[in-house]
Amino acid sequence: MGEIYQNLIGGTWRKADDASENRSPSDITDLIGMFARGGAKDVTEATDAAELAFPAWSRSNPQVRADLLDRIATEITRREAEIALMLAREEGKVLPEALAETRRAAHVFRFFAGETLRLKGDAVASVRPDVDVEVTREPLGIVGLITPWNFPIAIPAWKIAPALAYGNCVIFKPAEQTPGSAHLLAQIIHEAGCPAGVFNLVMGRGSVVGEAMTSDPRISGISFTGSVPVGRHLAGTCAANMKKLQMEMGGKNPMIVMDDADLQTAVSVCLNGAFYQTGQRCTASSRLIVQSGIHDAFVAEVEKQLKALKVGHALTEDMQIGPVASESQLNSNLSYVALAAEEGCEVLGGERLNRDTNGFFQAPALFLGSKNSMRSAREEIFGPCASVIRVEDFEEAVSVANDTQFGLSSGICTTNLRNAREFKRRSAAGMVMVNLPTAGVDYHVPFGGRKASSYGSREQGSYAAEFYTSVKTAYTFAG
Ligand code: UN1
């Protein structure tokens, strides 16, 4: 059975009682490795180690933390080809997408290296004589970070980097489906000289490792990216245990195409937003809301370009769309394709595809003639599927766009400034894009949504300090 990739607890690599297989969704005969599957006792040991490390780390010189994050960024860049290969192999996104994600992770670490020196406080006049008031930010404490399989290195980076930058200790639980990229990142953090116990990797099941994290009173906060049902459960347990919580969950992101849009821009924005990375992004454009004047020309052009997209093994050169990440995700996608047809849509594509290797390949799907009331237009599918909803005018487009339980990202393709300006104001989403895909964001500005998409304060950029620090107000009487 070869080597088992181990957990990192208190600065040493440790065996767990169990292990799980990591196989490529492009080819299930490709066994990437066996990875430790930790239990509640591993979380307890990691938390013991973090507790020991916290006093010194939380008071460390910011230059020490800046240098550490900078070394991590440099090492990610040096090993980017190896990381991207692992990522593409285990998650199934095509190599150029995996490389772009790896580079994003390096940028995130470099950005937060600088943030260690930019954390600010306030000095405020007191209403009492001879009293000074200072407002400062201190590390939150030990944080539990739970990440999904669809961005196996970028999402860990944008949680771990701010956590370490602001002086917290970390227990990191990556998705069980993509432990390989997480393990490489843990090696890099360890070898860059992160003090023992400051960063701990505990791989394993969410229902075991995640659950143990939410119940240990020594863990002050949980940052989670994943599904709405898991998020809802976490919100309950974290509230009961008085933990600070930050969550990013699903989306059913609208992309409006107005009659006045540039057709080629609209088509490429929609193809990218809906189907790249196999549609497995919480920011994917899954509802294309198209005004009637441009509708038929838009659909004809999307259909033509969709058919030309190459779907197959993630490691094949020039491949554009990789496999769906798992068999269960593929089966769920296929059931939504069948549902859309039952609900009365004309379905283009969406079938399972056979390729030379035994993987989970699916043709991108368009659900034409969709209505926003259909389940296929309301529930997040998390695959290469998009509903096309015809609307008559701007007002109808905005009301359909906002009529969803989610509110992560939204977009509009238009050449009319007034439409663009109005939509930016009226969109009930955390992120709004004009003539750009709903997915694919910058790494130095806040990321997050509204309604069922997000909970707690924003991730990324300097806004990340809101979650990873705790505010202290100090009063001094000098009289
Ligand atoms: C992006 O669109 O660039 O899980 C990032 C997700 C999001 C990240 C999307 N949390 O898809």
Q: Are residues 342 and 310 in the same domain?
A: yes
Instruction: Return the CATH number at 375.
Output: 3.40.309.10
Tell me which of 282, 345, 385, 413 is the catalytic residue. 282
Whether 276 has a pLDDT exceeding 90, the answer reads: yes
pLDDT tens digits, one per residue of 4-37: 999 999 999 999 999 999 999 999 999 999 999 9
Annotation says 270 is catalytic: no
Strand 27-37 relative to strand 285-291: parallel, antiparallel, unpaired? Answer: unpaired
Is position 282 annotated as part of the catalytic site?
yes
pTM above 0.85, yes or no: yes
Does 218 reside within a domain?
yes
Residue 440 Cβ < 6 Å to ligand 1: yes
| Same domain? 228 vs 331 | no
Q: How far is the CA of 440 from the centre of ligand 1 (A)?
A: 7
- Find the mean pLDDT for residues 176-183: 98
Please state, rounded to an integer, the average pLDDT across all residues of the chain: 97
Domain identity same for 312 and 222: no
Same domain, 229 and 276: no
Q: Are residues 37 and 157 in the same domain?
A: yes
Q: Confirm whether 440 is domain-assigned.
A: no
Residues 218 and 293 in one domain: no
The string of pLDDT tens digits covering residues 384-441 is 999 999 999 999 999 999 999 999 999 999 999 999 999 999 999 999 999 999 999 9
Residue 448 lies in a domain: no
Can you give the pLDDT at residue 233? 97
Q: 290-309: per-residue pLDDT in tens?
A: 999 999 999 999 999 999 99
DSSP string, 6-60: PEEETTEEE--SEEEEEEETTEEEEEEEEEEE--HHHHHHHHHHHHHHHHHHHTS
Query: Which residue has a Cα nearest atom 5 of ligand 1?
Result: 440
202 and 165 in one domain? yes
442 within some domain:
no
pLDDT at 1 over 60: no
- Please tell me the predicted confidence (pLDDT) of residue 479: 79
Same domain for 161 and 57, yes or no, is yes
From the CA of 174, how far away is ligand 1's center (Å)? 15
Contact 255, 288 (CB under 8 A): yes
In a domain, 424, yes or no: yes
Q: From residue 430, how far is each of 255, 319, 458 by CA, in Å?
A: 14, 32, 9
Residues spanned by the domain of 349: 253-434
Q: Is 443 inside any structural domain?
A: no
Q: pLDDT per residue over 156-173, tens digit each?
A: 999 999 999 999 999 999
The Å distance, Cα 133 to ligand 1 centre, comes to 40
Q: 96: pLDDT confidence band, cut at 50, 70 and 90?
A: very high
pLDDT-based confidence at residue 2 (cuts at 50, 70, 90): low
In this structure, are 204 and 298 located in the same domain?
Answer: no
Mean pLDDT within 260-275: 98
Task: Give the pLDDT confidence score for residue 311 in this predicted structure.
Answer: 98
Q: Are residues 150 and 272 in the same domain?
A: no
Which positions ≥6 away from 44 have C-beta within 8 Å? 212, 216
Q: How far apart are CA 389 and CA 369, in angstroms?
A: 6
Tell me: pLDDT of 333 over 60.
Answer: yes
CATH of the domain at 138: 3.40.605.10
Same domain assignment for residues 276 and 352: yes
3 pLDDT above the threshold of 90: no
- Residue percentage of the chain with pLDDT more than 90: 99
How many separate domains does the chain show? 2
Ligand 1 pocket, residue 150 CB under 6 Å:
yes
